[in-house]
Structure 1
Amino acid sequence: MRAALPTVAEDVVAAVIEEVPSYTDAFSGPMGETIRSAVQLALGGFLSQVSERRREGEPRVVPAIEGAYQLGRGEARSGRSSEALLSAYRIGAGVAWQRLSAVAVENGVDAEVMASFAQAVWAYIDEVSAASVSGHGDESATAGRVKQRLLDRISRHLLTGAPEKTVVAAAERADWAPPSTLTAVIVPESEVGSVLQLVHTGTLQATDLPELDAAVLLMVPDAHGRRRSALLRAVEGRECLVGPSRPWLQVRSSYDRALRAQERGLEADTEAHLPELVLTADPEALADLRTTVLAPLSGLRPASAAKLAETLRAWLLHQGRRDDIAAALFVHPQTVRYRMAQLRDLFGDQLEDPQKVLALTIALGVSPEPSE
């Protein structure tokens, strides 16, 4: 059988090439020689194991098992699946059994020994297959971790404002093609897996950001224009916040917008909340503006001042339409008439001055605290 090994190995290789499409071109070049050597090593290891009649508990033939493990790693690096590798093992085992059993018969091996020999063949194939699958899995996991580290580096550079050449170099190392735009999406940790299945495969992730509690930042490529509606559908009902699309190197501004919306307790599309986000961009300035333009109300009791401020806001937003104002405030139109008379007494000509009306509209654009 040892004398027949080179021929058996070539027959195994030929059968694998013919019957497993993934290996049609795999046996050319340096990798082909590696695989051929692995086949011969596996066959030689099997014969050594059988001839030594390894008893239970004795060590395996380490070189053959190690060779199978390294073969699995190499196949993962070559992009072939573990399923293709297992198919090759099954086909190779069948060919090896046919050739080696023929040699055994020619040499007068009896039926009982042949049965034991067959059992040993398939037990050994299970053993080397497991080693190869383990190597394939380890290499895939390692490659995945390396890839993720490279992608994480891109995310970190984008969020910290690294120079463009630094970010571009990181993208090249990660083999990540820069998109036209990136859109920041804040996603609860429990929803990340579901959302990733619905968005662009090149989406970047940033986890453990100090400003996010139990949430992850996703940066989705090319979700601008009409594609934004698809992104919004993907996150609908998931308590996500979607920032604006920005040129990919400026995604930090999209993230900042989403963070401000989160601080305001807003949800879903930040583009739907632009007035409030603009008005609350500088809370101190807004507070000062309110104090200044609502000064005529400062001498009133707080409850009365709040009701009149609420009425003035409705009057501005509804352009003086009394019935609409009454409906918005859940009061009678006569109440609106009475309150507006008070406001005109307090503000006088200011309610006719375009600049004063603009200031009042901005100051009251965000609804004040409800009155008692």
Structure 2
Amino acid sequence: MPVDPAPFPEAVAEAMRADLPAVAERAVEEIIVGVPSYADAFLGPMGRKISTAVELALRGFLQVAADGGNVDAGTPGGPVVEAAYALGRGEARSGRSMDALLAAYRVGARVSWRDMSATAVRAGLDPMSLARFAELVFAYIDRLSAASVAGHADELASSGRARQRLLERLARGLLTGSPHTELAEMAQRAEWAPPRTLTAVLLPEGRVRGALVSLDPRTLVATEDLPGLDAPGELAVLLVPDADGAARGALLRGLAGRRAVVGPARAWWGVQASYGRALRALRLGVAEEDDAPLDTDARLAELVLRADEEALADLRARVLAPLQEVGETAREKLTETLRCWLLHHGRRDQVAAALYVHPQTVRYRMTQLRELYGPGLEDPQAVLELTIALGVAPRPQPAGPA
């Protein structure tokens, strides 16, 4: 029913004001009993501050009651409601849920109603006004509860955003190679427990969310201002904790179908090296089929050989120059035969099996190659250069201008 805006009689309000310190003390005592998790908080100087806050809240309520209760219970305002809002934020900062605080409000409301209504009756408050008084008590507590809940939610949201910014800053510091001491300070501010190792993973930004499901919760994500990327905004970097050794297989399985490039595991503060290798593999066009994750640990030789593509092209041109004396079809067969011969250490049957030809065909082709190269096939330096040149198939060259 509508609340009568008429104020309480001054004599009743004055009697309740006089009893406030005792009511506040009894409310604190019963809150300690009813909400054990607050027992320590009420000890010592902090307990006196909380008792004072309880008394302040009760005085605020009496002011509302004396004014006729004509206050919008859903609209925060005034020092008491602001204090309730701050109390909710403090609970969030302490890592507690709202359960204990709301229970304390309920206990405080019950004690306050019991004691203050008794005082009001002794002071001559009529039954109708007493009923209105009860309504005001619980509306007021609802208002304080709502303010605390809002403060708790706002603190969680703002602290979450703040921590996310700190984690993003840490990720960028790791990718750019900030000094170890600075990284340790950033990790501490972000409340991030450093692992033994980190592994950098490059993948399309749109596939990050699905990948994170199976990864360590400490995994850091970087999506903006990634160093060394020519097309920012399309790729993201995950820095995955402790994905070395046997755990690397689980990481690769979890990244299946996500077109990921996986760097090596490095000490957490040195993950810039892991990111650099994944980035080089991406630039060199090293890739797997069917969107399988590219494990750079399994492609080390190719990465080494392709570290200087121009030098590799020059080496190939020089060591394969003798093959220019034969036609294109024969050149392709002889080149592949020479490659298999080097990789299989001249074992004719293995070379024939790899090429799906008869061993006599291998003998014939090797005779041609010895005629073209002469004693070079017996020279260790020449064999080394041929092995390097033929160890990786050449990348297709872009067409020149028309």
TM-score by shorter chain over 0.5: yes
Is structure 2 residue 371 aligned with structure 1 residue 345? yes
Alignment-derived partner of residue 247 in structure 1: 267
Q: TM-score, normalized by length of structure 2? A: 0.77
Shift of 1:338: 5.4
CA distance in 2, matches of 1:15, 1:215: 57
1:181-217 per-position Cα deviation (integer Å, ceiling 9, x unaligned):
3322224434444554544444443331151543332
Paired positions, count: 370
Question: Per-residue displacement from partner, 1:342-370 (whole Å, max 9, x unpaired)?
Answer: 43433344334343232222212112359
Question: Which residue is equivalent to 1:218?
Answer: 238
**What is the match of residue 13 of structure 2?**
none
Q: State the distance in 1 between where 2:214 and 2:23 align.
A: 49
- 1:11 partnered with 2:26: yes
Structure 2: runs of 5 or more not aligned: 1-15, 288-292, 397-402
1:225 is paired with a residue of what secondary structure? coil
CA–CA separation in structure 2 for the residues paired with 1:70 and 1:176? 26
Q: Which residue among 380, 384, 388 is the counterpart of 1:358? A: 384
2:282 equivalent to 1:282: no
> Taking structure 1 as reference, are residues 296 and 138 closer, same or farther at Cα in structure 2, changes over 3 Å only?
same
Residue in structure 2 matched with residue 315 of structure 1 by the alignment: 341
CA 1:298 to 1:49, structure 2 compared with 1: closer, same or farther past 3 Å? farther
Q: State the alpha-carbon separation in 1 of the partners of residues 164 and 393 from structure 2.
A: 45
Q: TM-score, normalised by structure 1?
A: 0.82
Instruction: Look up the match of 1:129.
Output: 145
RMSD: 3.4
In structure 2, C-alpha distance between the alignment counterparts of 1:72 and 1:104, rounded to whole Å? 31
Aligned residues of 2:306 and 2:312 also touching (Cα < 8 A)? yes
Kept in 1, the 8 Å contact 2:261–2:294? The answer is: yes
1:80 pairs, out of 96, 99, 112, with 96
Give the residue type in structure 2 aligned to 1:311: T
Deviation at 1:270, TM superposition (A): 1.7
Q: Map residues 1-372 of structure 1 onto 2, 5 A cutoff.
A: 1-55=16-70, 62-106=78-122, 109=125, 112-174=128-190, 176-196=192-212, 198-208=214-224, 209=226, 211=229, 213-263=233-283, 264-266=285-287, 267-302=293-328, 304-320=330-346, 325=351, 328-329=354-355, 339-368=365-394
Query: 1:253-277: per-residue Cα shift (whole Å, max 9, x none)?
Result: 1110111222324334221221211
Go from structure 1 to structure 2 and tell me whether the alpha carbon gap of 1:60 and 1:69 turns closer, same or farther (over 3 Å shift): closer
Structure having the higher Rg: 2
Structure 1 runs not aligned, ≥5 long: none
Equivalent-residue separation in structure 2 for 1:302 and 1:16 (angstroms): 93
Taking a change above 3 Å as real, the CA distance of residues 136 and 57 of structure 1, as seen in their structure-2 partners, is closer
Given the superposition, is the C-alpha separation of residues 19 and 214 from structure 1 closer, same or farther in structure 2, using an over 3 Å criterion? farther
Identity among equivalent pairs (%): 57
> Do 2:76 and 2:143's aligned partners in 1 also have CA atoms closer than 8 Å?
no
Are the structure 2 counterparts of residues 314 and 39 from structure 1 closer, same or farther at C-alpha, using a change threshold of 3 Å?
A: farther
Partner SS, residue 18 of structure 2: coil
